[in-house]
């Protein structure tokens, strides 16, 4: 289910997003229609929230890898078999689709697992964290967030 996001100043629809969507970066954005500042609900300010531990948990990625592998394997196994009620010319469609979707999913999950295991993902997040810390050390940035109603953690608030 996607949520529509409207600019709080000009009320124009700026984007749609999934509630579980997580991006890491500046939460302060400028409306491309009217130029007003707004807080982007898709983004997380790492200095406020801390390192997201679930990003480094390989269990969900391993589950995804297995599911992707099973889907691909199912597609592969269907190649030699005739599917009832499917025209001859379309027999290839289902196995190919399953094989492709499964393989893409498995490769994506494997990539995540490798970047976690090798520490590449942590490196990337440490860089994001450093950028976030530098953003929140700017009092003007904090002030803007507060003006927009963002809950700024105590330690970063204006003295």
R_g of the chain, CA atoms, integer Å: 22
Handedness of CA 66, 72, 77, 83 (dihedral sign): positive
CB-nearer residue toward Zn ion: 27 or 98: 27
Q: Which is nearer to Zn ion, 31 or 113 (CB)?
A: 31
Minimum separation from the CB atom of position 8 to Zn ion (A): 8
Instruction: Work out how close the CB of 36 gets to Zn ion at its nearest, in angstroms, rounded to a whole number.
Output: 5
What minimum distance in Å lies between the beta carbon of 33 and Zn ion?
Answer: 5
CA 19/CA 44 separation, integer angstroms: 13
**Which residues form the interface with Zn ion (CB under 5 A)?**
7, 9-10, 31, 33-34, 36
> Could you count the other beta carbons within 10 Å of the beta carbon of residue 84?
5
Read off the DSSP letter of residue 83: P
Helix (H) or strand (E) holding 73: helix 58-78
What's the full length of the chain, in residues?
159
Nearer to Zn ion, 129 or 150 (CB): 150
Q: Closer CB to Zn ion, residue 5 or residue 73?
A: 5
Q: Are the CB atoms for 96 and 71 separated by under 8 Å?
A: no
Q: How far is the CB of 19 from Zn ion (least distance, A)?
A: 22
């Amino acid at each position: 289910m996607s949520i529509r996001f409207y600019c709080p100043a000009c009320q124009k629809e700026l984007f749609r997003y999934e509630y579980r969507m997580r991006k890491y970066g500046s939460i302060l954005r400028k409306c491309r229609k009217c130029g007003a500042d707004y807080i982007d609900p898709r983004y997380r300010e790492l200095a406020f929230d801390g390192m997201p531990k679930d990003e480094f948990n390989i269990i969900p990625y391993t589950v995804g890898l297995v599911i992707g592998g099973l889907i691909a394997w199912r597609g592969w196994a269907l190649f030699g078999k005739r599917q009832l009620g499917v025209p001859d010319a379309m027999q290839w469609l289902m196995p190919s689709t399953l094989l492709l979707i499964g393989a893409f999913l498995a490769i994506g999950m494997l990539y995540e697992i490798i970047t976690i295991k090798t520490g590449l993902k942590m490196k990337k997040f440490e860089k994001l964290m450093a950028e976030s810390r530098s953003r929140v050390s700017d009092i003007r940035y904090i002030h803007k967030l507060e003006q927009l109603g963002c809950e700024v953690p105590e330690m970063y608030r204006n003295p």
